[in-house]
Structure 1
Amino acid sequence: MPRTRTVERSRLVPHTIDGTTHLVLDRYKEELPLPPRDWDRIVLTGVTAAAAVIGVASILWSTASIGSLLDLVVPLTAAAYAAAVVFDLAWLTCMALEWLARYDQDRAALPRVGYVALGIAMGAVGTHGWISGQFAIGCVAAAVSGLAKALWTVVLRHHAKPLDARTQQWVDAERAKAGGRLAMVSVRRELTRAEQAVTAEQAAISGTSGTPSGEIPEPPEDNEESPEATPEPALTGPMTMADAVRMALSCGISDPEKVLSYVRQVANANAKEESVLRILRMERKTA
């Protein structure tokens, strides 16, 4: 007899009282057959769990062995065992990266250098047994890490789903496009910081004086005969109204309307005419 599961469903049905009909909610139960057990998935889950338990046991064993070896020369025991953890965490980290790249064989190739870290860890465990006078036991202990790594390699290969060449190229193109957008976020943030730094620097310099310290602007040539040829002062960035008036005068601009236009252009777009004229009169008196 096939296994079933009970599912509660609902539907709208007409219900009439005194000649008036309304749709009301009717709840009912339905027996649905259960799909057969996916024994392949169950077995794979069990194997993965077993590999995880073996990996944890391998870490504990090799950490205790290598920590005891390093403790012979390191004054601080905690430091010796902390360093011992690195040996196994190195190849475990490489396996985790290989798992993340299980759909891309090219990217999964580099994390397989974890075998080097595994070999170093096994050598350290064997050395501890040899120093302790139990070389055979040290070899058996070193095999624990080797078996754990070998089992995880088999599990990872079983989980890996390599893509065909065309699909892999499509994935690489999409990954590159997304990576480019992500990189531009950082680049735009960097450019914004640089532009803000330049603006702040210019404001700090122009806020103290209209001209660089120690420099006197050269007086312009006499252009009274041709007012249209009067050169416009250079835009030096944000400055005070007084600095703008002095800059205009130093460039030979004495017409109040032109001075006011220049002040509004480089200092304050809302500068009042009477304020500019007052500063202009003060500058002419002190000249």
Structure 2
Amino acid sequence: MSLRTRKITRNRLTPFSPFPGAPVEMVEEEYTIDVPLDWDRAVLVGVAAGTSLLLALAVAWSTDSIGSLLALSGVLPPVAYGVAAVFDLAWIICMALEWIARHDPRRARAPRIGGIIALGISMAAIAANGARAGGKTGLAVGVIGALVSLIAKGVWTLAIRATSRELSPVAQQYVARRQAAAGAELAMAQIERQLQRSRGQLAAYREAYGSTPEPETVTVERPSPDPDGPSGQPVRTTATVRSAVRAALTTMPDASTADIVEQLARVGIDTDEDTVQALSEPVSGQHPDSQDSSSATVLALAPHAPDDTITDTVRSAVRTVGRDLDAILPVVRRVHGTGVLRDTVRRILSDRVTG
């Protein structure tokens, strides 16, 4: 017996040149091949078509029988027959949900039980409609009509099991864990979307009613930059800056105050060395940074005028201590304020200062 085949058409790229010496181009070429017939697939297609037809006939019979029974209550016929379709659609939907959860027996159990209950109610309603006609003939018609839905469900159950694959316990655990991980990611995505929506609504309420809360502040004592001036002045610092400074002091216990200020500036938190030093005492017990005394010495040795620019101050400091960035930065910040960034002084040293 020869192997049955069927022809299918495919495309492939092939080089083509219209005449010798012409450029060669890759063009698509159609060709046919013979492939063996997949009898398993053909049979499954036929089973699916037959099962669909069987379900359609079962739903039609059930809807007509139960609809005529419900119409006796006096409701409109379209309503009665529409409600009658619910009985069979219920167990059909339950079977679809059971197939979706076929890789998780615990999830598939609930729709399986629900489908059996819905099928039992539908069969009872069909049998009751037959018994209403009276006599043995009516009851027999009702029972046979009820078996139509049972046969349809049985055939569909067999078809679903034929297309599914039974997993071993180990493979079942693997699939369950992967499904749980994917479900967790999906749940977090939904939660993040809800949080973003809630934050947007909260921002809109605050903007509309002017109820934006003021950030919590804490007062620290900043040392006076003038040796002859008062010992210190109160400075208001937000709790966010305080938490960030203390976190930096914990993770970088050996870093200088200038390094901590620079690290916090990179993440968008503005502070200064005096605040860092004031907050470091109760947290880590660190002593004032040695750069303060050295920077005071440099400040005294590097003359400056009130109208000096940052570049002028850097040049004066370079003439005093050389091109040491760590020694020059505190001087510049004492003269021009703590808002001067380390990168600014570094750029001046590399681009503008000639020594």
Question: Please, what TM-score do these two structures have when normalized by structure 2?
Answer: 0.52
1:74/1:80 contact within 8 Å kept: no
1:135 corresponds in structure 2 to: 139
1:83 corresponds in structure 2 to: 83
State how far apart, in whole Å, the 2-side matches of 1:158 and 1:104 are: 17
Query: Which of structures 1 and 2 has the larger relative contact order (alpha carbons within 8 angstroms, sep 6+)?
Result: 1
How do 1:191-210 and structure 2 match up within 5 A? 191-206=195-210
Deviations 1:230-286 (A, max 9, x none): 796999xxxxxxxxxxxxxxxxxxxxxxxxxxxxxxxxxxxxxxxxxxxxxxxxxxx
Range that drifts further, 78-87 or 42-51:
42-51
Distance 1:72 1:27, change over 3 A: closer
Confirm or deny that 1:118 pairs with 2:119.
Answer: yes
Q: 1:13 deviation in Å?
A: 7.2
State how far apart, in whole Å, the 1-side matches of 2:182 and 2:151 are: 39
1:6/1:29 contact within 8 Å kept: no
State how far apart, in whole Å, the 2-side matches of 1:205 and 1:178 are: 41
Distance 1:104 1:204, change over 3 A: closer
Range that drifts further, 56-65 or 167-176:
167-176
State how far apart, in whole Å, the 1-side matches of 2:29 and 2:204 are: 72
Gaps of 5+ in 1: 211-225, 236-287
2:103/2:175 contact within 8 Å kept: no
State how far apart, in whole Å, the 2-side matches of 1:26 and 1:79 are: 61
Q: 1:81 deviation in Å?
A: 1.1
Query: Which amino acid in the other structure matches residue 159 of structure 2?
Result: V
State how far apart, in whole Å, the 1-side matches of 2:43 and 2:32 are: 28
Q: 1:155 deviation in Å?
A: 1.1
How do 1:1-287 and structure 2 match up within 5 A? 5=7, 11-12=14-15, 17=20, 20=21, 23=24, 32=33, 34-113=34-113, 114-133=115-134, 134-206=138-210
2:104/2:176 contact within 8 Å kept: no
Query: Which amino acid in the other structure matches residue 81 of structure 1?
Result: Y
Distance 1:29 1:191, change over 3 A: closer
CA RMSD of aligned residues (A): 3.6
2:6/2:36 contact within 8 Å kept: no
Distance 1:35 1:231, change over 3 A: closer
Deviations 1:86-124 (A, max 9, x none): 100000001111222334444333221201100100000
The number of aligned residues is 216
Question: Please, what TM-score do these two structures have when normalized by structure 1?
Answer: 0.63
Deviations 1:132-159 (A, max 9, x none): 1111111111111111111111111211
Q: Share of identical aligned residues, percent?
A: 37
Per the alignment, in what secondary structure is the counterpart of residue 128 of structure 2? helix
Distance 1:41 1:6, change over 3 A: closer
Per the alignment, in what secondary structure is the counterpart of residue 71 of structure 1? helix
Query: Which amino acid in the other structure matches residue 158 of structure 1?
Result: A
Per the alignment, in what secondary structure is the counterpart of residue 72 of structure 1? helix
State how far apart, in whole Å, the 1-side matches of 2:178 and 2:61 are: 43
Gaps of 5+ in 2: 215-229, 240-355
Distance 1:141 1:234, change over 3 A: same
State how far apart, in whole Å, the 2-side matches of 1:144 and 1:85 are: 15
Distance 1:4 1:85, change over 3 A: closer
Distance 1:13 1:56, change over 3 A: closer
Distance 1:50 1:4, change over 3 A: closer
